[in-house]
């Protein structure tokens, strides 16, 4: 009887110990399907964060910014378009060249507006009507060291008078400028133009891809006198 009681107590202790160590198993229930969340709304902060470049990409890295001479012209893709041209004498501070092709020079007649510092090209039919106003000149296509083209103006000697040193020295400067870079400056004491030739190894000039006719139009498109009723002549005659 005593042994049975002891056995029962030992069995009960084992059962209690076994229950204490067991992990209760919860019966899982199938969860209800939840509606999917809406996509996140992009914010300025999120966008800014997404576009931030890694610190390793230095925007001021000289290697990344350096111009490649092999692709520079294609990358820039810019070509200068001439829309107007100056006619006159070269600036005394600039070296100039004259186009070597005789096609790019012309002997013609102009009228100079001394007040407004403008030059008018005159149609040949009006030359006999305006002998006191026109000047016979040689216009040569020229370019300065900055690559700016212009029409270099030099007065022709009076066929009925004595040649003037002012005229002949400017014409000689034009001829010298065909092969050399020259600078022209008035020499009042000598009564002529002093001509200076550059001694450095300067590069050859680049010429515009335009005909003389196109260059004349760019220069005189608003200053071409082909009628005695032209506004400038009317003002010159005191009729307007």
Which range (1-5, 12-16, 108-112) has the least confidence?
A: 1-5
Whole-number Å distance between alpha carbons of 68 and 23: 74
Q: What is 141-186 written as a DSSP string?
A: EEEETTS-EEEEEEEPPPTTSPPPHHHHHHHHHHHHTTTS-EEEEE
Task: Read off the pLDDT of residues 85-107 as tens digits, 9 standing for 90 and up.
Answer: 999 999 999 999 999 999 999 99
For residue 11, what pLDDT is reported? Answer: 54
Q: Is the pTM of this model over 0.85?
A: no
Is 196:182 a contact under the CB 8 Å cutoff? yes
The residue with tokens 């992990």 is 23
> pLDDT digits over 157-185, tens only?
987 878 899 999 999 999 999 999 999 99
Give the Cα separation of 47 and 124 in Å (integer): 71
Is the predicted pLDDT of residue 72 greater than 70, yes or no?
A: no
pLDDT tier for residue 39 given thresholds of 50, 70 and 90: low
Strand, coil or helix: 123: coil
CB distance 156 to 136 below 8 Å: yes
Which token pair is 144?
Answer: 């300065």
For residue range 199-228, what is the model confidence (pLDDT) as tens digits? 999 999 999 999 999 999 999 999 999 999
Average pLDDT of the chain, as a whole number: 84
How far apart are the C-alpha atoms of 15 and 13, rounded to whole Å?
5
- Residue 45: the pLDDT is 47
């Amino acid at each position: 009887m005593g042994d049975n009681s002891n056995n029962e107590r030992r069995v009960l202790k084992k059962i209690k110990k076994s229950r204490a160590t067991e992990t209760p198993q919860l019966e899982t229930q199938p969860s209800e399907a939840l509606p999917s969340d809406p996509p996140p709304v992009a914010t300025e902060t999120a966008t800014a964060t997404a576009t931030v470049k890694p610190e390793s990409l230095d925007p001021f890295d000289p290697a990344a910014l350096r111009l490649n001479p092999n692709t520079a012209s294609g990358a820039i893709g810019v070509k200068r378009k001439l829309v107007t041209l100056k006619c006159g004498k070269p600036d005394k501070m600039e070296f100039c060249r004259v186009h070597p092709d005789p096609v790019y020079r012309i002997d013609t007649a102009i009228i100079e507006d001394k007040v407004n510092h403008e030059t008018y090209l005159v149609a040949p039919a009006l030359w006999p009507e305006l002998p006191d106003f026109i000047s016979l000149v040689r216009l040569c296509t020229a370019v300065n060291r900055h690559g700016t083209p212009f029409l270099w103006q030099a007065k022709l000697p009076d066929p009925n008078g004595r040649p003037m040193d002012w005229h002949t020295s400017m014409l000689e400067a034009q001829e010298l400028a065909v092969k050399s870079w020259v600078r022209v400056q008035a020499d009042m004491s000598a009564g002529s133009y002093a001509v200076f030739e550059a001694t450095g190894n300067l590069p050859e000039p680049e010429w515009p891809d335009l005909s003389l006719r196109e260059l004349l139009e760019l220069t005189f498109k608003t200053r071409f006198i082909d009628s005695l009723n032209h506004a400038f002549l009317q003002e010159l005659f005191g009729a307007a």
